[in-house]
Structure 1
Amino acid sequence: MLQSLSIRDIVLIEALDLEFGSGLTVLTGETGAGKSILLDSLGLALGNRADSGLVRQGTEKAQVTASFAPPVAGSKLAATLDDNDIEIEPGEPLIIKRSVKADGGSRAFINDQPCSAALLRAVGGQLIEIHGQHDDRGMINPKGHRALLDAFAGVEGTAVGEAYQAWQAAKTTLEQAKDDQESAEKDREYLEHSVAELSKFGPEPGEEQELALERATMMKGEKLTGDLEAIRSVFDGSNGGLASLRSAARRLDRIAEDHPLLKEALESLDRSIIDAGEAEEKLNDAAAALSFDPQRLDDMETRLFDLRGLARKHRVEPDKLSDLLDELQKKLAAISDGGKTLEGLEASLASARKSYIVAAENLREKRGKAAKALDKAVAGELAPLKLDAAKFRTLLEELPEEHWNKSGMERIEFLIATNPGAPLAPLGKIASGGELSRFILSLKVALAEEYGLKTIIFDEVDRGVGGAVASAIGDRLSRLSNGAQLLVVTHSPQVASKGDAHMLINKSRSGTVSRTDVRALDDEGRRQEIARMLSGADVTDEARAQADRLLERG
């Protein structure tokens, strides 16, 4: 709800501070007094184009500050502010400030935090709806008609939205599976050949390192074979070195008791025989370990060459060939099982589509009933507003499947015809601005609480009508203002008399300078202003008496 409006240096307004309350506030004044300036100022705060022509002559900049009730936690407005990192303390009013310089530059703030004009328009659209002679927003825009009808019907599209998302997810999963299956089918021949080749070869983890080590060892043995045989020959046979040592030890043993030195020599000789024996064993073990088998070496080299060749072919490390074999076997198995998988996914898709259709058809049925009720309610409002020849219809047009969406299977739009025999057309196609405003009023009254906006502004909704029609307009504005806030610019005394508050817009002249100001009227002021609206410049006693009667009925 709009709480206050502060205007500085806009066109004819030097300084103006206004306070607003709930209910119906009427704004009146003579033609040319500056009502449009007031609305232009508010529009500037709500994100309209910053026109330097709004800056009062002789000043550097114009500024408007609008204060609104605190945003409701969890509301769309609160979400919009949060999404744009605009922080407002709980219970703190929402304050919009917009300035425009004479050179055309402009700045905007929400609670002292800089923001763009685009954000102002988004926020402003959730705070106020302005209906004038050439308005093309709000209820005229078909994009909002579905939400209005659903609110009137008291339904939510959550189930349809969730069913739609599930349907689309199932469709995406199936399409991906089909792509994978198609790609896999193209690779079947390659997979079968690769699996057969790798399975026949039988790569083992760590095999390359083992083969390379054994090959290197065997090649060393080939080089050392001659030397080893020559060394081992020194030890072998009855004439070998170790046999000679043992023979010498036996002879020395027989005479060792004859002299201490001989005994020591025998002990040294025994140690040498033990060491020589150990050396002979190690030489034999080394010869066995380094044994050279030309066939075995050739087999190892062939295996190692083939192993590395397969690794290069499949672009993996040799030790990863066994893992690759497992992976390719799984892919090949998946191709064989792919038909069953696709059948399951197709069944899931069909089930998801059916669930969506059931939910969407249920919603469409409720919308259809609500559309008939809304058409009837609007029709009941048309005759008193001098639109008795007009027709209103809520269109529910079934969409082709490719255009079904999370909101349902139909397009929703409000259509009207103002003349007998004329075809129904979108709201925005009405030629007469006055008829359009009255149509919107009738629709708002029919929607009542379901409409949801807290602040609505009508600019001359009573243009071109008077008497009983003006009274009917006033009655409906009064009804619409229950629980909401309406600001109505009017030339009709019948409408003005219905206001809960009355503001007079007045233009004064001092020398060559003209100024516009606005002031709240007390009871006597209202009586005098309504009398002026009835009689013109010369207010008569009869006009005052008639004003009293209107105010009493109001």
Structure 2
Amino acid sequence: MLIGLEIKNFAIVNSLSTEWHSGMTAITGETGAGKSIAIDALSLCLGERADASAVRPGANQAEVCARFDLSSLALAQAFLSKHLLNTEDNECLLRRVVCSNGRSKSYINGSAVTAAQLKELSQHLVSIHGQHAHQHLLKSEHQLQLLDAYAGHNKLVENVKDSYKHLAKLKKEYTTVEQQQQQQAAQKQLLEYQVAELDEFAIQNGEFEKIEAEHYKLSNSQSILQSCQNELQTLFEHEHQSTCSMLQHSAQQFSQLSQFDERLANVATMLDQAAVEVEEASREIRSFIEHADLDPSRLNDVETRLTGIMDLARKHHIKPNELAQFHQGIKNELLAISNNNERLTQLEHDISTAQETYKVSAQKLSISRKKYAAKLNKLISQSMANLSMENGCFEIALSTEHTNTANSLGIDSVAFLVSTNPGQPMQALHKVASGGELSRISLAIQVIIAQKVTTPTLIFDEVDVGISGPTAASVGKLLRQLGVSTQVICVTHLPQVASSAHQQFFVTKEVNQDQTFTQMRALNQDGRVNEIARLLAGDNITQLAKANAQELIMSHA
């Protein structure tokens, strides 16, 4: 329940602080005084779109604070708890600041939040019914929303939305895959040829590097072998001047000389060891020569393989060492294209299943809508009679669409039909109802919906436009009854409606030093009598008008 509202520098309001109570509260004032200014400010505080026009001329920013009692509002408390915004008491403070540049900031219990979060929380706090609600009533989608709001089958509505969303997602993927398949037909043919060619060649990872190294070795094997033979001759096999024989001769000489000077003994030892090492190396060289593989056919095979790798690499505009990776890549690409057929088959099955799920959910929702439509028909027809449309009859006509042409709202299309005179056939609202009748029907629907949808605070912003006389008294009675269980705030110009309220605010507009100021003050009993009398008689308030006003107020006591 709304318990406090503070407004600073908003539109033509300089500063305003008001306290609110349970029951029905009427807001009245002169034409053009800005009776709806508090409602507009509250709407801003509840997350409505903000712009620079909200800031009073000459001010840097506008600020609106709204205080709510959440004692019996479990959903609002759960929202605050979920977002870690709850406080120890049962109150909630919403605050919205709009700067002169149009930027805004939002707060819940002192913590910064988004306007979207404010708006989400506001659904559990306030429901505002504007003076143009009857215009929305002519729209089929809005009519369906009203029916669903009365039925309260939110879970069924969500199931239909979710199943439709899933179905639409699958259909979109099917279209995408199908288009890809058509576009990739020519590409698939090319890839099949390329993969077949590379499969036949069957290059392995790292093969190019190995082939290249082997080719280098084989192509130089003859010169290597010749060099080995020449060096073997020099090192060991030359009859008189081989390196080994010369080392052995020198070792013998120094061994003899060491008898005269023992310091040369070490030289003799090293030369003798060198001769042994040369002889060992010569045996290794001889073994290499004896086992050398000089098969010309192997070199031929390696050259052919290497040429094949180079040719394929040039053909695909890649480096030779990337050929194996390229081969695997186009194989994967071809596999993905080939898998499209399987994916399309799977999607066809999934779409069929999703369609059946959607159909079942939509049919359950449709059954529930028909059930509550019948109840709503009776209630609205009865309410029309109470609003001076004694012969009025209301009917919600539901027709079921084919599943394939349905949408996220289900398989039902809705039309609000009405007959306002005896013998008149049921027809669409816009064809039958006059402006005043449409306002009354709209008000009847809003009140009935409000009684079912447990929003703690209901605001009616001049919804009684086009209503007068006995009908106005009926409207006032209806709103007062609603105020017994729900906080009702009503902006009105009708004395019959204003007198029905438990309490009343009066809005005035003043001009001071070329600046306009709007004020709103709570009226005491005498103030209410004077204001109701003004609504009855205009600016010329007579004793008779006051007596009539007193009688109107007392009739609701």
TM range (shorter): 0.7 to 0.9
Cα pair 2:393 2:420 within 8 Å, conserved: yes
Residue number in structure 1 paired with 2:204: 204
Residue 292 of structure 1 and its aligned partner are, at CA, apart by 4.9
Residue number in structure 1 paired with 2:164: 164
Cα pair 2:419 2:432 within 8 Å, conserved: no
Question: Residues of 1 paired with 2:224 and 2:92: CA distance?
Answer: 95
Question: Residues 67 and 195 from structure 1, CA distance in 2 versus in 1: closer, same or farther, beyond 3 angstroms?
Answer: closer
Secondary structure of the structure 1 residue equivalent to 2:35:
helix
Cα pair 2:5 2:67 within 8 Å, conserved: no
Structure 2 spans left out of the alignment, 5+ residues: none
How many equivalent residue pairs? 528
Question: Residues 174 and 68 from structure 1, CA distance in 2 versus in 1: closer, same or farther, beyond 3 angstroms?
Answer: same
Question: Residues of 2 paired with 1:119 and 1:343: CA distance?
Answer: 43
Residue number in structure 2 paired with 1:222: 222
**Of 270, 277, 280, which aligns to 1:278?**
280
Question: Residues 345 and 332 from structure 1, CA distance in 2 versus in 1: closer, same or farther, beyond 3 angstroms?
Answer: same
Residue 120 of structure 1 and its aligned partner are, at CA, apart by 9.2
Structure 1 window deviating more from structure 2 (16-25 vs 385-394): it is: 385-394
Q: Residue 456 of structure 1 aligns to which amino acid in structure 2?
A: I
Secondary structure of the structure 2 residue equivalent to 1:203:
coil
**Of 130, 148, 151, which aligns to 2:146?**
148
Residue number in structure 2 paired with 1:306: 308
Q: Residue 37 of structure 1 aligns to which amino acid in structure 2?
A: G
Cα pair 2:415 2:428 within 8 Å, conserved: no
Question: Residues of 1 paired with 2:392 and 2:506: CA distance?
Answer: 34
Question: Residues of 2 paired with 1:318 and 1:96: CA distance?
Answer: 67
Question: Residues of 2 paired with 1:50 and 1:158: CA distance?
Answer: 33
Question: Residues 551 and 403 from structure 1, CA distance in 2 versus in 1: closer, same or farther, beyond 3 angstroms?
Answer: farther
Cα pair 1:198 1:325 within 8 Å, conserved: yes
Secondary structure of the structure 2 residue equivalent to 1:27:
strand
Structure 1 window deviating more from structure 2 (447-456 vs 398-407): it is: 398-407
Residue 495 of structure 1 and its aligned partner are, at CA, apart by 2.5
Cα pair 1:445 1:480 within 8 Å, conserved: yes
- Render the CA deviation track for 1:385-429: whole Å, top value 9, x for unaligned: 123455544354545656533332234454556677587446799
- 1:112-127 aligned at under 5 Å gives the runs 127=126
- 1:417-432 aligned at under 5 Å gives the runs 421=424, 424-425=427-428, 432=435
Cα pair 2:129 2:446 within 8 Å, conserved: no
Cα pair 1:167 1:352 within 8 Å, conserved: yes
Cα pair 2:50 2:103 within 8 Å, conserved: no
Cα pair 1:504 1:518 within 8 Å, conserved: yes
Residue 163 of structure 1 and its aligned partner are, at CA, apart by 1.9
Question: Residues 171 and 116 from structure 1, CA distance in 2 versus in 1: closer, same or farther, beyond 3 angstroms?
Answer: closer
Residue 172 of structure 1 and its aligned partner are, at CA, apart by 4.0
Question: Residues of 1 paired with 2:290 and 2:65: CA distance?
Answer: 100
- 1:403-442 aligned at under 5 Å gives the runs 404-412=406-414, 414=416, 421=424, 424-425=427-428, 432=435, 434-442=436-444
Cα pair 1:34 1:507 within 8 Å, conserved: no
Question: Residues 164 and 124 from structure 1, CA distance in 2 versus in 1: closer, same or farther, beyond 3 angstroms?
Answer: closer
Residue 149 of structure 1 and its aligned partner are, at CA, apart by 1.7
Question: Residues of 2 paired with 1:175 and 1:52: CA distance?
Answer: 47
TM-score (norm 2): 0.73
Q: Residue 230 of structure 2 aligns to which amino acid in structure 1?
A: A
| Residues 1:458 and 2:461 aligned together | yes
Question: Residues of 2 paired with 1:237 and 1:97: CA distance?
Answer: 105
| Residues 1:547 and 2:545 aligned together | no
Question: Residues 35 and 64 from structure 1, CA distance in 2 versus in 1: closer, same or farther, beyond 3 angstroms?
Answer: farther
Q: Percent identity among equivalent residues?
A: 23
Residue 382 of structure 1 and its aligned partner are, at CA, apart by 0.5
Question: Residues 27 and 46 from structure 1, CA distance in 2 versus in 1: closer, same or farther, beyond 3 angstroms?
Answer: closer
**Of 34, 37, 40, which aligns to 2:34?**
37
Q: Residue 228 of structure 2 aligns to which amino acid in structure 1?
A: L
Question: Residues of 2 paired with 1:350 and 1:412: CA distance?
Answer: 27
- Render the CA deviation track for 1:287-338: whole Å, top value 9, x for unaligned: 4687655443333222112113223434555455445555656666777776
Residue 39 of structure 1 and its aligned partner are, at CA, apart by 1.2
Residue number in structure 2 paired with 1:348: 350
Question: Residues of 1 paired with 2:191 and 2:238: CA distance?
Answer: 66
Question: Residues of 2 paired with 1:410 and 1:485: CA distance?
Answer: 34
**Of 43, 46, 58, which aligns to 1:46?**
43
Residue 36 of structure 1 and its aligned partner are, at CA, apart by 4.4
Q: Residue 446 of structure 2 aligns to which amino acid in structure 1?
A: K
TM-score (norm 1): 0.74
- Render the CA deviation track for 1:456-506: whole Å, top value 9, x for unaligned: 123261654213x23321221123334433222345443333211123446
Question: Residues of 2 paired with 1:539 and 1:339: CA distance?
Answer: 88
Residue number in structure 1 paired with 2:95: 95
Residue 94 of structure 1 and its aligned partner are, at CA, apart by 0.9
Residue 198 of structure 1 and its aligned partner are, at CA, apart by 2.5
Question: Residues 295 and 411 from structure 1, CA distance in 2 versus in 1: closer, same or farther, beyond 3 angstroms?
Answer: same
Structure 1 window deviating more from structure 2 (175-184 vs 368-377): it is: 175-184
Q: Residue 371 of structure 2 aligns to which amino acid in structure 1?
A: K
Cα pair 1:220 1:290 within 8 Å, conserved: no
Question: Residues 391 and 526 from structure 1, CA distance in 2 versus in 1: closer, same or farther, beyond 3 angstroms?
Answer: same
Question: Residues of 1 paired with 2:432 and 2:322: CA distance?
Answer: 72
| Residues 1:497 and 2:495 aligned together | no
Residue number in structure 1 paired with 2:483: 481
Cα pair 1:2 1:66 within 8 Å, conserved: no
Residue number in structure 2 paired with 1:25: 25
- Render the CA deviation track for 1:483-535: whole Å, top value 9, x for unaligned: 43322234544333321112344678999999865432334544565566567
Question: Residues 291 and 284 from structure 1, CA distance in 2 versus in 1: closer, same or farther, beyond 3 angstroms?
Answer: farther
Question: Residues 197 and 411 from structure 1, CA distance in 2 versus in 1: closer, same or farther, beyond 3 angstroms?
Answer: same
Question: Residues of 2 paired with 1:191 and 1:460: CA distance?
Answer: 70
Q: Residue 158 of structure 2 aligns to which amino acid in structure 1?
A: T
Cα pair 1:27 1:489 within 8 Å, conserved: yes
Question: Residues of 1 paired with 2:102 and 2:285: CA distance?
Answer: 98
Question: Residues 116 and 94 from structure 1, CA distance in 2 versus in 1: closer, same or farther, beyond 3 angstroms?
Answer: closer
Question: Residues of 2 paired with 1:55 and 1:314: CA distance?
Answer: 71
Secondary structure of the structure 2 residue equivalent to 1:407:
coil
- Render the CA deviation track for 1:20-73: whole Å, top value 9, x for unaligned: 2232112345xxx356413145425635897979969xx779967352427878
Cα pair 1:24 1:500 within 8 Å, conserved: yes
Secondary structure of the structure 2 residue equivalent to 1:69:
strand
Question: Residues of 2 paired with 1:511 and 1:183: CA distance?
Answer: 74
Cα pair 1:148 1:451 within 8 Å, conserved: no
What RMSD over aligned residues (CA atoms) do the two structures have, in Å? Answer: 5.2
Structure 1 spans left out of the alignment, 5+ residues: none
Residue 441 of structure 1 and its aligned partner are, at CA, apart by 1.5
- 1:243-258 aligned at under 5 Å gives the runs none
